Structure formats: structure tokens, C-alpha cells
Amino acid sequence: MSSPYNAQPSGYPTPPYPGQIPYPPVGGTPYGAYPPPAVGYLPPEAWPAAQHDPRNSPVLANPGQRLGGHALDVLFVFLGAVLVGIVFLLIGRATGRPGSAPESGVLLVCHLVVMLAVVVLYDPVQTVLWGRTLGKRCAGTRAVPLTRPTERLGFGQALSRWLLHLVMTFVPFLGLLNGLWLLWDRPYCQCLHDKVAQTAVIRQQG
């Protein structure tokens, strides 16, 4: 005969028999609370301007996406510079005396100015117009302001971020360090040029 003194308190599940899967914790997830976010999501407090639902918080781009997007952007910039060179070469031949007429010096200066504009403005112009570059579009990422991840970068912030990236690329060892920094940076996985420009790279939703 069972005694009330050794009975299980009400509200507690009976112990599982041998081989049975244990019961989940009493109470489970409180009503109205969201489960912990998946890997790659940041807590809502990390994104002050984001919605308070963790499921809708921005997701950081992984290193593979960032590397792939940047490699494609470098390729597109190179192709753009080659195209500009071909256009000015054809213009020089059309003038009749490339390399000897005074016009060739002006043409060379124009060539260099246009090529520099392609390299410098490639990223900022696309970021302002469409929110991301061709490379980022292919990789499924976008660069956003660190404190306003639901908004686009302004032209000044996008230009400073791109120029910092370009300058660091041509400084010995700094370019490599800049690219590797995101592997250990927390919580935003930023490169050095992201830290200076106060930006982050997230996955493009949808």
C-alpha cells in the first residue's frame, strides 16, 4: 500500500523506465518566447534598429560568401578596366595618329581618369543605387551600417569603406590581415575596413 509520504508531487512526470527517452524539462519554452537563434544570427540587442523578433534579425554572411563576393567584384573591376582600355584604344586609332599627336596626351589622361573612376566608384555607386555590388549580388550578401542593418549605406560611408579596402590591399601584409580579421572578430565578424567604416556584411534575405 502506497503512502502519501513517498508519493510523487503533483505536476512532476514519473521517472522514465529503463530504455525510455527522458521527458523534456517541465514547463518547456515559455509561451510567447522564441527559441534560441540559429548559428549566424545575432541577438536583437546587437542590432538596435532591427526588429525585436530574433527570427527576423539580420544574419551575418559567412567567410566563404564574403570571399566569393569580393573575388567576383575584383574580377568585374578588372573587366571594366579592360573594357575602358579597349574603348580608348579604338578611339586612339580612330584619331589617326596615336602616340604622336597632342591629342594622344589628352586621350591618355582621359583614359586614366575614367579607369580610376571605374575602380573608385564601382562599389559606392552600386551600393547607393541597389544596396549591393554585382559580386555581393551573386554571393547573396550586402554591406550595411553597423547600427542600422535594415538600411543601405550612404555614399560617403560606402566610398570610405571601399577606399579603405583598396588602400589596405596594396599595403604589404595589411591586405592579408584585413581579409583574415573576420575569422576571429566577434560578434560581427568584421574585416578591418568594416571596423573603421562601422559596417557589417549580412546575408541578403529573399
Which helix H or strand E contains 167, and what residues bound it?
helix 155-169
Structural domains of the chain, count? 1
In a domain, 184, yes or no: yes
Per-residue pLDDT of the chain (206 residues; tens, 9 = 90+): 555 545 555 555 555 555 554 544 555 444 444 444 444 545 444 555 454 445 557 889 999 999 999 999 999 999 999 999 999 888 888 876 555 555 678 888 899 999 999 999 999 999 999 989 999 999 999 999 988 888 899 999 999 999 999 999 999 899 999 999 999 998 889 999 999 999 999 998 76
Task: Give this prediction's pTM.
Answer: 0.71
In a domain, 67, yes or no: yes
Residue 173 per-residue DSSP state = T
Q: Structural domain of residue 116, as residue ranges?
A: 63-203
Grid cell digits, residue 146: 553597423
In a domain, 12, yes or no: no
In a domain, 109, yes or no: yes
Burial label for 157, CB within 10 Å (0-12, 13-18, 19+), is: buried
In a domain, 113, yes or no: yes
